[in-house]
């Protein structure tokens, strides 16, 4: 850890400590031995590639799906619950890439059981998980370890490391050199550390809840859809504040009716370099209603708040955006009078179907 990292004190909750450990978790992954077999797997002519998981682990696969689909691969991103409901999607020549921090979420275990006993055709299974003893790691034809270490509650280190493992998968499919990917992950670790050291969002979080009828939403397009959905999920879990995540245009199809004073919209992946102006137009239109708009990136829109920097790499934008979401979640929890990241009803591993 460098001098920039805030000092850990006993006042921090386990969730906050996990948030601060993310740069080192990324470095541990970058320095770990490369998984033999991934490059060879990526070269095989799969009939279908299916990315699955639950919650934030599933969202981490969204950018991979977009890149594979863009490259002409028949690829799906479908959560494991829906995959169990549509087993016909899996064919014997499919590659199923399942991401699960615990490797033991109920839907993942059920999927493994059905693949194992023939209720679902025996496809090739890649398991991305932090626990080498988990059902997913032991059932997978190829186990890709997260190297994210223990995690107390809500996903933090495991989400960022899942994004980084997916970056390695993308690199295998696109034929990039592993050293370049490793360097990229190390650079992202540094930029996550800078983000943690320099970002202050307590005032913004307090303002967002300072209405008798507050509403919160997140929006992200393309790969930043992953961040918008991640932010929506972990904010609910960590702060008990109702917030919904939306993918791009989804926000205009109904949720816009919540616009006006008291609505705060966090827009992830808001970059000046983006030739698609839909995010800028959405921010403009929301500001005009009296809503509060927080842009995560370097895009500036009159009347909105911009937090962040230009995107140095796709993984960098995803990782720093996710860290911003975690910092908002912590401050929203404090403003809401709850312990950041403490589960009220759920638990770290959801096993019930
Ligand atoms: N509350 C957790 C979520 O935070 C997590 O994203 C999801 C997936 O967990 P895993 O990655 O272990 O499969 O499970 C639970 O529902």
Top pLDDT among 189 and 4 is at 189
pLDDT at 10: 62
Kindly tell me if the per-residue pLDDT of 7 is higher than 50: no
**352 C-alpha to center of ligand 1: Å?**
12
CATH number at 299 reads 3.40.50.10490
Task: Give the span between the Cα atoms of 127 and 134, in whole angstroms.
Answer: 10
**254 C-alpha to center of ligand 1: Å?**
28
User: Do 235 and 325 fall into the same domain?
Assistant: yes
Per residue in 136-153, pLDDT tens? Answer: 999 999 999 999 999 999
For residue 165, the enclosing domain spans 14-195
User: Do 232 and 127 fall into the same domain?
Assistant: no
Top pLDDT among 311 and 161 is at 161
The protein residue whose alpha carbon is closest to atom 1 in ligand 1 is: 348
User: Do 231 and 153 fall into the same domain?
Assistant: no
Per residue in 72-83, pLDDT tens? Answer: 999 999 999 999
Pocket of ligand 1 (CB under 6 A): 53-57, 100-102, 105, 108, 154-155, 237, 346, 349-350
User: Do 25 and 146 fall into the same domain?
Assistant: yes
Determine contact, residues 286/255, Cβ cutoff 8 Å.
Answer: no
CA distances from 232 to 2, 55, 83, 205, 243 (A): 30, 10, 22, 14, 6
Kindly tell me if the per-residue pLDDT of 8 is higher than 50: no
Per residue in 246-270, pLDDT tens? Answer: 999 999 999 999 999 999 999 999 9
Task: Give the span between the Cα atoms of 136 and 126, in whole angstroms.
Answer: 9
Q: What is the ipTM of this complex?
A: 0.96
Local structure of 136: helix, strand or coil: helix
The whole-chain average pLDDT of the chain stands at: 95
Query: Which among 143, 84, 85, 96 is positioned nearest to 122, based on CA atoms?
Result: 96
User: Do 258 and 296 fall into the same domain?
Assistant: yes
Local structure of 156: helix, strand or coil: coil
Judge whether 8 lies within some domain. no
pLDDT at 337: 96
Judge whether 291 lies within some domain. yes
Q: Is the pTM of this model over 0.80?
A: yes
């Amino acid at each position: 850890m460098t001098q920039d990292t805030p000092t850990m004190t006993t006042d921090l909750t386990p969730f906050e400590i996990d948030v601060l450990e993310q740069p080192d978790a990324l470095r541990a992954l970058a320095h770990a031995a490369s998984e033999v077999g991934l490059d060879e797997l990526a070269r095989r002519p799969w009939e279908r590639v299916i990315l699955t998981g639950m919650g934030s682990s599933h969202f981490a696969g969204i950018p991979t799906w977009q890149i594979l689909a863009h490259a002409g691969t028949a690829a799906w991103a479908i959560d494991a619950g829906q995959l169990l409901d549509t087993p016909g999607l899996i064919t014997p020549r499919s590659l199923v890439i399942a991401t699960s921090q615990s490797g033991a979420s109920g839907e993942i275990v059920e999927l493994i059981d059905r693949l194992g006993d023939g209720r679902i055709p025996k496809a090739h299974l890649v398991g991305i998980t932090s626990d080498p003893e988990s059902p997913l790691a032991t059932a997978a034809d190829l186990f890709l370890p997260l190297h994210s270490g223990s995690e107390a509650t809500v996903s933090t280190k495991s989400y960022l490391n899942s994004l980084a493992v997916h970056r390695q998968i993308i690199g295998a499919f696109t034929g990039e050199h592993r050293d370049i990917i490793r360097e990229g992950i190390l650079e992202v670790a540094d930029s996550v550390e800078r983000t943690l050291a320099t970002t202050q969002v307590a005032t913004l979080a307090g303002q967002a809840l300072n209405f008798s009828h507050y509403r919160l939403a997140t929006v992200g397009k393309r790969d930043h859809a992953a961040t918008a959905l991640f932010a929506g999920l972990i904010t609910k879990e960590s702060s008990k504040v109702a917030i919904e995540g939306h993918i791009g245009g989804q926000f205009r199809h109904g949720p816009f009716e919540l616009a006006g004073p008291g609505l705060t919209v966090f827009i992830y992946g808001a970059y000046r370099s983006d030739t698609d102006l839909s995010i800028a137009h959405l921010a403009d239109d929301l500001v005009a209603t009296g809503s509060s708009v927080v842009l995560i990136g370097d895009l500036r829109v009159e009347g909105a708040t911009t937090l962040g920097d230009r995107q140095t790499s796709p993984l960098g934008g995803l990782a720093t955006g996710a860290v911003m979401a975690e910092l908002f979640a912590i401050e929203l929890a404090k403003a809401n009078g709850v312990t950041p990241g403490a589960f009220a009803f759920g638990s770290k591993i959801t096993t019930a179907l």
